Amino acid sequence: MLTLENVYTHYGKIEALHGISLEVNQGEIVSLIGANGAGKTTLLMTVCGDPRASEGRITFMGQDITETPTSDIMRGGIAIVPEGRRVFSGLTVMENLQMGAFFSDKSDFVRTLEYVYDLFPRLRERHSQRAGTMSGGEQQMLAIGRALMSHPKMLFLDEPSLGLAPIIINQIFEIIGKLREEGMTIFLVEQNANQALRLADRGYVLENGKVVLQDTGANLLVNEDVRKAYLGG
């Protein structure tokens, strides 16, 4: 569904990605793990066209999107839940969800809203609360809900567990698993390698802008190098 072939990304003269090749197939959860600064966010954002790949090819659902404007990539079926959630803190829960549906068919709005509220009953309870006054976990649910409002074909999640309490992290990962059961294709970027690999069909390990390992989630979980570097031995 998504393919990267030998993708390089530069920030000015700094080369952040050095020839990345990977794929995400329909219906899979693929996890990308790596330390701080490995280039995980850069990789996600490069697929979204900002920053743009300086070399290589990115295809999504059979179309070359390497040069496609970001807004068209988003309209074409990729939704991103950014690192740090970035909900509109002055807007209510409902207004945030409306923003997520901005480019979508308006006739579908109520049905999609109900779908998101069923997935996250807490958001229904808090529909008129300002997003900025919600807890971190609630804001993460809202960020995911907002992304789903655009009916994406593929969901990118950038560090959804960052800064959340373990019990909330479990809830978020449960929801991600549920989305996959419903057929969503998910590309998950995480420093929480343990949870991310448990959930993943396949995973990639990124080090210094390069893929150094790829395998099934189950195999990566028991891989010696992965255990030492990312799972605390």
The residue ranges that bind ligand ATP (CB under 6 A) are: 11, 14, 16, 34, 36-42, 191
CB of 230 to ligand ATP, least distance (A): 12
Q: Write out the H or E segment, with its range, that includes residue 188.
A: strand 185-190
CB of 36 to ligand ATP, least distance (A): 4
| Closest to 4 measured CA to CA, from 42, 53, 38 | 53
| Closest to 220 measured CA to CA, from 21, 43, 38, 31 | 31
**Where do we find the tokens 């709005």?**
109
- The residue (of 104 and 194) whose beta carbon lies closer to ligand ATP is 194
Alpha helix (H) residue ranges in the chain: 40-47, 70-75, 93-100, 109-119, 121-125, 136-148, 166-181, 193-199, 217-222, 224-230
CB of 148 to ligand ATP, least distance (A): 23
Residues 6+ apart with CB under 8 A from 122: 138, 141
- The residue (of 97 and 200) whose beta carbon lies closer to ligand ATP is 200
CB of 49 to ligand ATP, least distance (A): 14
Residues 6+ apart with CB under 8 A from 84: 159, 162
Helix axes 136-148, 109-119, angle to 10 degrees: 150
CB of 12 to ligand ATP, least distance (A): 7
The rounded distance, in Å, linking the Cα atoms of 229 and 232 is 7
CB of 84 to ligand ATP, least distance (A): 9
- The residue (of 22 and 101) whose beta carbon lies closer to ligand ATP is 22
The rounded distance, in Å, linking the Cα atoms of 128 and 124 is 9
**56 Ramachandran zone, left/alpha/beta (phi>0; psi -120 to 50):** left
CB of 109 to ligand ATP, least distance (A): 33
- The residue (of 39 and 113) whose beta carbon lies closer to ligand ATP is 39
- The residue (of 138 and 190) whose beta carbon lies closer to ligand ATP is 190
- The residue (of 18 and 151) whose beta carbon lies closer to ligand ATP is 18
- The residue (of 39 and 100) whose beta carbon lies closer to ligand ATP is 39
